[in-house]
Chains A and B, each alone.
Chain A
C-alpha cells in the first residue's frame, strides 16, 4: 500500500481516505498540501485515493438508478395529518393492486377460456350451477362449494356471486369461497363480509389459502387486520372478537387494533384478545357452533372506505 519512496505517503493516504471527499485536498494541512505539490510518491497516493472515490461515486450512482423503488402509492391523505392520534378501531385495507390487476387478469382468463365456453357440451344444460369459477365473471367473490345466506335469509348458492361488499353473509355449515385473485377461503359457521381484495370476519372460522404469487389479500377481524401473501392459515373469531390465528405456511403481518404489528410465520400461532392484546403461541378461541346472532350488526365500511382507515399495507 505505501510507497517506500516517501515516509509521509502512508499518513497522507490515510488522511485522504478519511476525508469527506478524497479527491479534494481541503482536509490536508497547509504543510501536507505543500509537500504534495513536490512529492511524486504522495501524488501517486493521492491519485489512487481520487480514483477510488470516482469508482465509488460511480457505484453509488449505479445503485441509485438500479434500486429505484416501485412507485409508492400513498395511503389516504388524512392518515398522517396533524391532530390527535386515531382511536383504536378495527383497521382495514384497500388493495389497488388487486383491484386493478385482478379484473385485468380475469378478463384475460375469460378470453383464453372463451373457445371452451362457446363450445356446447353434452349435458351442460342439466348441470348444476357449479362451473369452473375462473371462467365466470372473476371480478366477483363467488361461492365455490356449499351455500351461504344473507342475514335476511336469502341464500347464495354455489356458483353465485356475493354481491354487495357491505352485505353481511352467514355460512351455516361448511362452504368455500373463490376470490378473483385465486384465493380460496373455506368457511365454517362464519359471519362475514367479502370483497375482491379480502374478507371481514365477524365471527366463526375460516381457512385461507392465498396463492404464492404477487397476490395481496386481507382478512379483517374485530381486533386485527391480517395482510397476507402466498400463505395458508386458519383464523377463528369468537363472539367477543377474540381472534385466533394458526399458520400452516407462508408469512402474514398482523396489525392489531392497538396499531401494533406482528409477523406470524409458518408453524406459529397467536391469539388477539378482545382488548387487542397479542398472545403468541396460544389459540384461545372456542370452536364455532352457531352462526352469529340474527340481529344485523352495524355495517362495516366497504372496500372503498376501508382504505382511509389504515391505508395500504402492500402497494404496487
Chain B
C-alpha cells in the first residue's frame, strides 16, 4: 500500500486519481470529526468534509513531502471547524438551548454506536482527539503524538484514561 507522501507526489505529478485514495483514507475520520464538532449535523459534516478536501487539493503544493499528511490535513479540518463555528456565532440574543438529543443521523441509529458516542462525550477534548486519531484516523501512538505535537508519554496517558473511562461506562451499562 502506498504511503501518504507517495500519493501526494502522484497527485502533484498530475495523476489526480491518487487523491481519491487520500479521500478514502481520511474521509470517514474527517467527516466524523466535523460531525462531532459542528452540531452533529450530517449534512454540515458532509459539506465541511468536501470543503476540507477541496482546500487540501488546492493547496497541495504547500505540503512538504516527507511530513505527515495526516497532521497537515487535520490542521485544515481544525481551521475549517473554527471558521464554521465563528460563522455561526449568533450576533443577537442567545437562542434556545440545543436539544439534549442530537439530530438523528442514520448511522447513529445503531444503539451500540450511540452508547460509545455518549461515553466519548465524557472524555476531555484532548482525550477525545487522541481517541479519534487512534481509532478513526488509524494512527499509531507515535503518529498521534506527532499530529498533536505532544510527547508520546502524554498521548499514552490520555489514551489510558480515555480507554479506562470507556471501560467503566460500557461495563456500567452492561455493554461489554
Q: Type the 1/0 row for B12-56, where 1 means its CB is closer than 8 Å to any CB of A.
A: 111010011001100111111001000000000111011101100
Tell me the complex Cα distance, A215–B47, Å. Answer: 12
The reply to whether the CB of A145 lies closer than 8 angstroms to some CB of chain B is no
Determine if A77 and B14 form an interchain contact, defined as CB atoms under 8 angstroms apart.
Answer: yes
For window 44-85 of B, CB contacts with A under 8 Å fall at: 45-47, 49-51, 53-54, 57-58, 60-61, 83-84
The reply to whether the CB of B171 lies closer than 8 angstroms to some CB of chain A is yes
Q: Taking the nearest CB of chain B, how far is it from the CB of A19, in angstroms?
A: 8
Determine if A59 and B135 form an interchain contact, defined as CB atoms under 8 angstroms apart.
Answer: yes
> Which residues of the partner chain A approach B100 to less than 8 Å between Cβ atoms?
none
- Chain A residue nearest to B46 (CB atoms) is A70
Interface size on B, residues (CB 8 A): 59
- Contact A80/B11 with A69-B30, A85-B61 known, Cβ cut-off 8 Å: yes
The reply to whether the CB of A315 lies closer than 8 angstroms to some CB of chain B is yes
Determine if B167 and A82 form an interchain contact, defined as CB atoms under 8 angstroms apart.
Answer: no
The contact of B159 among A18, A67, A311, by CB within 8 Å, is: A18
- Contact A314/B23 with A59-B116, A59-B135 known, Cβ cut-off 8 Å: no
Q: Taking the nearest CB of chain A, how far is it from the CB of B25, in angstroms?
A: 10
Q: Type the 1/0 row for A58-71, where 1 means its CB is closer than 8 Å to any CB of B.
A: 11101111111110
Determine if B27 and A68 form an interchain contact, defined as CB atoms under 8 angstroms apart.
Answer: yes
For window 129-147 of B, CB contacts with A under 8 Å fall at: 135-136, 140-141
- Contact A75/B171 with A57-B135, A63-B136 known, Cβ cut-off 8 Å: no
Determine if A14 and B27 form an interchain contact, defined as CB atoms under 8 angstroms apart.
Answer: no
- Contact A69/B14 with A55-B116, A56-B135 known, Cβ cut-off 8 Å: no
Contacts beyond the supplied A48-B167, A80-B12, A80-B60: 19 A-B pairs with Cβ under 8 Å: A1-B164, A1-B167, A18-B163, A52-B163, A60-B136, A62-B113, A64-B136, A66-B28, A67-B27, A69-B27, A69-B28, A69-B49, A70-B49, A70-B50, A74-B19, A265-B88, A266-B91, A310-B58, A312-B54
B binding-site residues for A, Cβ under 8 Å: 11-14, 16, 19-20, 23-24, 27-32, 35, 45-47, 49-51, 53-54, 57-58, 60-61, 83-84, 86-89, 91-92, 106-107, 110, 112-113, 116, 135-136, 140-141, 156-157, 159-160, 163-164, 166-168, 170-171, 175-176
